[in-house]
Amino acid sequence: MSAGQNATHIAAHNRAVVLDVVRRDGPVTRSALTTRTALTAQTVSNIAARLLADGLVREIDAAVRVAGPVAGRRLELAPDGRFAVGVHLDPAQVSVVLLDLAGGLVAEQHLGAADVDAPSSTLDAMAGAVDHLVTSARIDRARVAGIGVAAPGPIERDRAALGAPVQLASWSGVPIAAELAERTGFSVRIEKDVVASALAEWWTARSTEDLVSVYLGHGVGAGIVVGGGVVRGSTGNAGEFGGIPVHAHGGWTELWEACQPLQQVRRGVAAGLLAPTADDPASVRAAFEQLCALPAARPLLAEAGAALGSALVHVVELLDVQRVVVGGSAALAGGATLLDALHARLFERLGSRRAPAVAFTALGEDVVARGAACAVLLTSAPAGPVVPAVRQVRTGGPARPRDIAHPW
């Protein structure tokens, strides 16, 4: 989180800055907050009073939590002060999570594959899951800040609908935010899946160091955190790097073709490792997981990992980051074979002094859903008004043509 500023028109920013320091470093004194945020003592005092009134932080006696006679009272986060719901609209698996203000997982539910032809049925299932999670956790709905939905890009500029996602073509232009808001009574915002994955990694870490969050699910992308903030880009669609040329599987190709599960399944079928399978997301996911369990498929997984490493070399050098986190259902299914090959390629190209630390996400397959909820928690505000459902009209010319074999 960046330093605060002492202008009245950026009160919301300053509030978020103070809350983030309390969340990461609490319990913390007001004087320490003044130092760490570069805000005036009066501004910190005013913000602290509001956060206390809103139930987002609580005040504790320093002597209770700190050894020795330490004077003064400190602020710490109140995890139960606010909650948020995160939804990952993945073609092969829709996940819904409920998080507390600290990013802790309260409850989760998996709904299976999205209906690629009838969005309304999946939206109904999402709404049902949201109601179930909130009700089962016995949480006052007034303390639920809203719902974040993470989905494959592109997303529209207003973060209310999807653009033209290849795997969810029938969802293009559907007013997801408004439709889900009407069904649940909560405000809804949309994030791109790889942006959400990076946000989850940043939110749950005590450190604010720069990082790249590689996401390999039904598609491939990379979320980025630089300077304590997640990079969304001008339209919210940052993170597309599947078109980077890499040398894999015996020739030059684009990254998506080297590691996307559909392409890997096709290679497995061609090699006689798998029986022919349908191309729908759920079937591809099942076949890919079957492929990953076969010892004979390790060369394919290693090639995919090395290809990811080759593409990441350029990202790491461009941004000068020292941490890479890898997540997504396909990456986790690929396991150590994929991750070791990715790390080895970075080490080969960058050397031991420049190669970043590489690890699988500690948040499991729900990393994207959790990031979607974190996007809502960043505002730390109660649910806003429900907007009426109106189908979005695309502007700015036709979407770039895409197909399932070449989604980038």
Q: Are 173 and 216 part of one and the same domain?
A: no
Q: Does 339 reside within a domain?
A: yes
Could you tell me the residue range of the domain that residue 322 belongs to? 205-364
Half-sphere exposure of 250 (CA within 13 A, CB side): 3
- pLDDT value at residue 387: 36
Among 157, 88, 236, 154, which residue's Cα sits nearest to residue 408?
A: 154
**CA-closest candidate to residue 408, choices 192, 291, 240:** 240
- Rounded to the nearest 10°, the torsion over CA 85, 89, 94, 98 is -10
Phi, psi for 345 (deg, rounded to 5): -70, -40
Q: Is residue 223 part of a domain?
A: yes
Bridging pattern class, strands 93-100 and 83-90: antiparallel
Tell me which residue of 344, 261, 332, 266 sits closest to 302, measured CA to CA. Answer: 344
Would you say residue 396 lies in a domain?
no
Q: Within this chain, do residues 72 and 99 fall inside the same structural domain, yes or no?
A: no
How far is it between the farthest Cα atoms of the chain?
A: 71
Same-domain status, 57 and 122? no
Position 261 in a domain: yes
On whether both 225 and 320 belong to a single domain, the answer is yes
Is residue 398 in some structural domain? no
Residue 400 domain-assigned? no
Whether 130 and 171 map to the same domain: the answer is yes
Residues 218 and 341 in one domain: yes
What local confidence, expressed as pLDDT, does residue 25 receive? 87
Q: Which residues contact 17 (CB under 8 A, 6 or more apart)?
A: 1, 2, 3, 4, 37, 39
Record the pTM.
Answer: 0.86
Token pair 């049902």 is found at 128
Residues 354 and 220 in one domain: yes
d(Cα 386, Cα 404) in Å, to the nearest integer?
34
Indicate whether 405 belongs to any domain: no
Last residue of a domain, one of 44, 77, 110: 77
- The candidate with the shortest Cα–Cα distance to 64, out of 101, 27, 32, 33, is 27
CATH number of the domain bearing residue 109 = 3.30.420.40
Is residue 373 domain-shared with residue 358, that is, in the same domain? no
Domain boundary among 20, 45, 77: 77
Q: What's the CATH code of the domain at 24?
A: 1.10.10.10
pLDDT value of residue 104 = 93
85: number of Cβ within 10 Å: 30
| Distance from C-alpha of 294 to C-alpha of 383, rounded to nearest angstrom | 47
- For residues 69 and 101, membership in a common domain is answered with no
Local structure of 382: helix, strand or coil: coil
Quote the number of domains for the chain: 3
- Residue 285's pLDDT is 94
The whole-angstrom separation of Cα 360 and Cα 366 is: 13
Question: CB within 8 A of 46, min separation 6: which ones?
Answer: none
Q: pLDDT digit of tens for each residue in the chain (408 aa)?
A: 556 655 555 777 888 889 889 988 889 999 999 999 899 999 999 999 999 999 999 998 755 555 544 456 899 999 999 999 999 999 999 999 999 999 999 999 999 999 988 899 999 999 999 999 999 999 999 999 999 999 998 888 777 888 877 778 888 889 999 999 999 999 999 999 999 999 999 888 777 789 999 999 988 999 999 987 889 998 888 999 999 999 999 999 999 999 999 999 999 999 999 999 998 999 999 999 999 999 999 999 999 999 999 999 999 999 999 999 999 999 999 999 999 999 999 999 999 888 999 999 999 999 999 999 999 997 644 333 333 333 333 333 334 434 333 333
Last residue of a domain, one of 77, 109, 128: 77
Give me the pLDDT at residue 72, please: 65
Question: Do the domain assignments include residue 391?
Answer: no
When the pLDDT of each residue in the chain is averaged and rounded to a whole number, the result is 86
Q: Model confidence over 4-14: pLDDT tens digits?
A: 655 555 777 88
Q: Are residues 349 and 237 in the same domain?
A: yes
Quick one: 170 and 309 in the same domain?
no
CA distance 135 to 131: 6
Tell me if residue 266 falls in helix, strand or coil.
helix
Same domain membership, residue 106 and residue 46: no
Q: What is the pLDDT of residue 406?
A: 37
- pLDDT by residue (tens digit) across 64-88? 555 544 456 899 999 999 999 999 9
* DSSP tag of 364: G
